[in-house]
Amino acid sequence: MSPLLSVVSSLALWVGSALLVASVAIIRPRRLYGLWNDLRDRLWEIRKPLAALVVVLIASAIGRSSLQTVSELFGLQLTWAIYALEGNFVAWLQSTFGSPQLTMYFSSVYVYGYVFLLAFPFLAYLALPRTTTVKRLLVAYALNYAIGLVLYTVVFAYGPRNVMPDMVTSLLFTHNPEFMALTGEVNEPTNVFPSLHTSLSVTVGTFAVLTRREYPLWTPLAAWLAASVVIATMYLGIHWLTDVIGGTALALGAVSLSYRLVDEE
Amino acid sequence: MARHVSRRETLAGVGIAALSAGCLDRTRNIAGRDRSSQLTLEINAPPADRDPNAIRIARHLAENLNAVGIDARINTLGLTDLRRKVLINHNFDVYVGQFREAEPFDPDAMYAFTHSQFVAESGWQNPFGFTDINGTDELLASQRRTGGDERREAVEDLQRTLCELQPFTVVAFPDPLTAVREDRFENWTNRQPLSVGGLLGVERVDAGDGDADGTGTESGDGTAAGDNETTAGDNETTAGDDETTAGDNETTANGLIGDNPFTDSGDEEGDSATLRLVTTDERITQNWNPIAAEYRRYGTFTSLLYDRLALVEDGEIIPWLAAGWERVGDSGIEVSLRDVDWHDGKPVTAEDVAFTYEFLQDTSMGTTESPVPTPTFRGRVSAVDEATAVDEITVRLTLDGVNDAVGVRALQVPILPKHIWEERTDVATIAGFEVDAETTEAVVTNNEDPIGSGPVRFVEASPEESVAFERNPDHFLVRADDGDDSTGDAMDPLAGIPERFRGKPAFDRLEIEVMGSDIAAVQAVGDGFADATVSNLGPDAVPRIGREADARLVTGRSGGFYHVGYNTRRAPLSNPRFRGVLASLIDKRSLVDIAFDGYAEAAASPLAAAPEWVPSDLQWGDGETDPVHPFVGEPGSLDAETARDRLREAGYRFDEEGRLIAPGA
């Protein structure tokens, strides 16, 4: 239990500080002040999408292990098909660009950067005078998770590090085995298609582009972080290119659906 | 991947041409033939997180198969699913796995593994569907019944036959590598650190004698050591004194401390008496059925739960649940039992033992149309014709004319409590529906709250995360050791038990935690969260042990050889020549270096762990290559053209792109 606790506390510390700095720099104190005064009303306004997200997350936490069993028994075993489709792309990526510095960068982006990337927009959009965007963001998150869970159940596949350890090093866990304690809590190793890291990052990135008028500083930062997380999933040997493409498609679908479901006020 | 125009499209196209030409007969002759396509083989292996070595063997084979024009696909599956697919459903082409014997074994282990009488059964008996009635079957039968040179000859011929026919290809015998830390428990054997004997032989490091064990204790967790000292009180000081003079006294000293009721129940002692193991194999947290083929690797922990009549350690036969046995007549053995209780307090009787042997032959106890035999230990129980209880503590086993060595193997099956397992003879059902009449409840049960008679008892588990066992204070090793010195005049209740096991286990609690990968497992030992790793360590994890200050590498000899198994029910794997070529595509030498980091022995014979049985023409020796099916090419590089020539010689054909055409597909 101890390794998990230390990873979680370090995660909370780093992401917490990053959120603080980014809030001041990007959301600006004036809006933060407004958010603080109006927090209760705004949370009440977004109660429905927030509840939807919480329900999806709880269902995922509870149902994951039984859905995993269903996937083992009846899922499509597609590891070989994914490999046949893309071959050694991930191995090529690692062998061409691999370096200790990049490994450190992508490892921290994959864990710390990702959590920051998902948490910050919630704050930022909640601070906007109108709640449409934050509602859409929550709906898009929920859709990502819900559809992702269905696909995980249908597709049973292992990632490159598990299939070709001779060519793809499991960089994240080789250099930071303590992270495994954390990711093991939230992920099954067979849940690779689609990459949820990719889909949620791309979701945030897309929202950042769509809201560039409100937060012009956030757009390039989000795009950079999202791109880094997407590359990290492959560079670290966790996901196939196929998972990333699938994750991107899921993200774009989820964002457009969220725009349809939540109308402009 | 080779995908051809579907037959329907072809027929639609040629149909028009044929009608207009009018020569329907000729068209039928051509279109009626199945179209040829490339041969596809699916190689099943566990993912790297679960078994870092097997997937590397699978990858190597797949690469070489693809190079000679066979479409090889790797299918990664969890350990349980893989076993279910291969051992139970026989629904596979090729698999990579380990043999189920942890230690070097008697040749008779091949009986269930390869005898054709077991082709229709599911479990560890002949998963290949291999039938060689005049060769293998006869040799297997003859090595069971003969002794001395006659048996040796049969065993040697058996190995030659198996090597030639290759129902499976032996790749290598891995060294059972374990990362251990010795600041809390010591005396990890260098033979089989995580066998029953290995775990029972482990000693607790006593608090306050850091000088005896080097720096480990001092630099380790001083707080835990301090706790230990306060509770153990007076006993501890004497023990410490003894130890400085002679290491041998350690056993008794520890035994006494362990038996001290105050120590046993002492809460503040915390985890200082807990042996903490880490594994990547989650199965022991889900299922404790000693006969379940899908869930047992070597069966080490279920052997700690369920005693066997005999325990064999390093070739030494130790009467275990049996106090002793003697041959009666030509084919009988009379076994007398020790005075032991089940974990629920009921006594272990001769009736339980007789029941176990009958039950393992047919877990339905005669209630189904045809018997449903146990999926493991099948070869062992097949040597016993009949088991009857003579009195409360004596059981007579009638052997099937087998020699002593096979008889001893028959004594090594988990003895099950009749009062629990006789309830499990019904056909297995899901929500009241019979799904498969070939399976009984006993075979499929997870056996929650297992009741055995062994030196540890089940405490609690959280599936896929961890499981906890505790020392069984009523076990004969502990109970009989209490009065050891005072009642020396009567029959020694621990007769035949080596000194190192008396009063054991040295731990009060045994915890096994599941880790994400072999690297995480080694890290946990290095960081002091665990005392030893259980599951296999891959080439990325082994060098790590050296870098961790407090972790040490312990290794020994294993019987669990890695092999590539073929489903000989399926063409072209049914052809021994084809299998022979596949065997020659496996570069065992390089695999040992790459997939095992050198911690394995390449081998041709499945008996190579017991070299005294291997004839000189099958020994690997210093040779670089396999004596029967040498690797085609130089070490590390396959000669694909020569391999294709071999396949052509064996009657297989290739299309213009060099793809092997599936025969009759």
Q: Quickly list DSSP for B204-244.
A: EPPTT-GGGGTHHHHHS-HHHHHHHHHHHHHHHHHHHHHHH
Q: What is the mean pLDDT of chain B?
A: 83
Domains of chain B: total:
4
Segment holding A41, helix H or strand E: helix A29-45
Cross-chain Cβ contact B516/A162 below 8 Å: no
Residue B375 lies in a domain: yes
Task: Tell me which chain A residue has its CA closest to the CA of residue B526.
Answer: A177
User: Two tokens at B100?
Assistant: 């189920």
Same domain as B24, residue B41: no
- Where does the pLDDT of residue B187 fall: very low under 50, low under 70, confident under 90, or very high at 90 and above? confident
| pLDDT tens track for A98-144 | 899 999 999 999 999 999 999 999 999 999 988 999 999 999 999 99
Cross-chain Cβ contact B519/A166 below 8 Å: no
- Where does the pLDDT of residue A160 fall: very low under 50, low under 70, confident under 90, or very high at 90 and above? very high
How far CA B548 is from CA of A42, B88, B193, B289, B424, in Å, comes to 52, 41, 19, 36, 47
Tell me which of B252 and B25 has the higher pLDDT: B25
Same domain as B41, residue B28: no
Same domain as B93, residue B77: yes
CATH code of the domain in which A189 resides: 1.20.144
Cβ-nearest to A165 among B52, B463, B515: B52
Same domain as B578, residue B609: yes
CA atoms of B65 and B58, how far apart (whole Å): 10
User: How distant is the Cα of B277 from the closest Cα of chain A, in angstroms?
Assistant: 14
Cβ-nearest to A3 among B75, B529, B594: B529
Same domain as B43, residue B28: no
Domains of chain A: total:
1
The single residue listed with the structure tokens 């992702």 is: A148
Number of Cβ within 10 Å of residue B362's Cβ equals: 18
Closest CA to B107 of B150, B159, B55: B159
H helix runs in B116-182, sequence order: 136-145, 148-165
Q: Which of B53, B56, B76 to mutate to test the interface with A (most CBs of A within 10 A)?
A: B76
Cross-chain Cβ contact B595/A166 below 8 Å: yes
ipTM beyond 0.95? no
Same domain as B166, residue B65: yes
CATH code of the domain in which B314 resides: 3.90.76.10
Tell me how far apart the terminal alpha carbons of chain A are, to the nearest angstrom: 47
Cross-chain Cβ contact A181/B77 below 8 Å: no
Please, is B568 exposed, middle or buried when counting C-beta atoms within 10 Å of its C-beta (0-12, 13-18, 19+)? Answer: buried
Domain, as residue range, for B21: 1-35
Residue B657 lies in a domain: no
B322 phi/psi in degrees, rounded to 5: -85, 135
The full DSSP string for B547-567 is HSTTEEEE----S--EEEEE-
Same domain as B162, residue B51: yes
Cross-chain Cβ contact B76/A158 below 8 Å: yes
CA atoms of B75 and B514, how far apart (whole Å): 23
CA atoms of B233 and B26, how far apart (whole Å): 97
Same domain as B166, residue B92: yes
User: How distant is the Cα of B635 from the closest Cα of chain A, in angstroms?
Assistant: 17
Strand-pairing partners, residue A120, are: none
Cross-chain Cβ contact A178/B81 below 8 Å: no
What pLDDT sits at residue B192?
77
pTM: 0.85
Same domain as B135, residue B54: yes
What count of residues does chain B have?
A: 665
| pLDDT tens track for B252-290 | 333 333 343 333 333 444 556 899 999 999 999 999 999
Domain, as residue range, for A239: 2-261
Residue B288 lies in a domain: no
Q: Does B595 touch chain A (CB under 8 A)?
A: yes
Q: Does B636 touch chain A (CB under 8 A)?
A: no
Same domain as B142, residue B119: yes
| pLDDT tens track for B542-593 | 888 888 878 888 887 788 999 999 999 998 999 999 999 999 999 999 999 9
Task: Tell me which chain B residue has its CA closest to the CA of residue A77.
Answer: B75
Residue B235 lies in a domain: no
- What SS3 class is residue B363? coil
Chain B segment 13-42 residues within 8 A of A by beta carbon are 42
Strand-pairing partners, residue B203, are: B186
Helices A218-235/A114-126 angle, 10° precision:
150
Residue B546 lies in a domain: yes
CA atoms of B206 and B183, how far apart (whole Å): 9
Same domain as B161, residue B45: yes
> Which residues of chain A make contact with B55, given a CB cutoff of 8 A?
162-165
Residue B505, preceding peptide bond in cis (omega within 30° of 0): yes
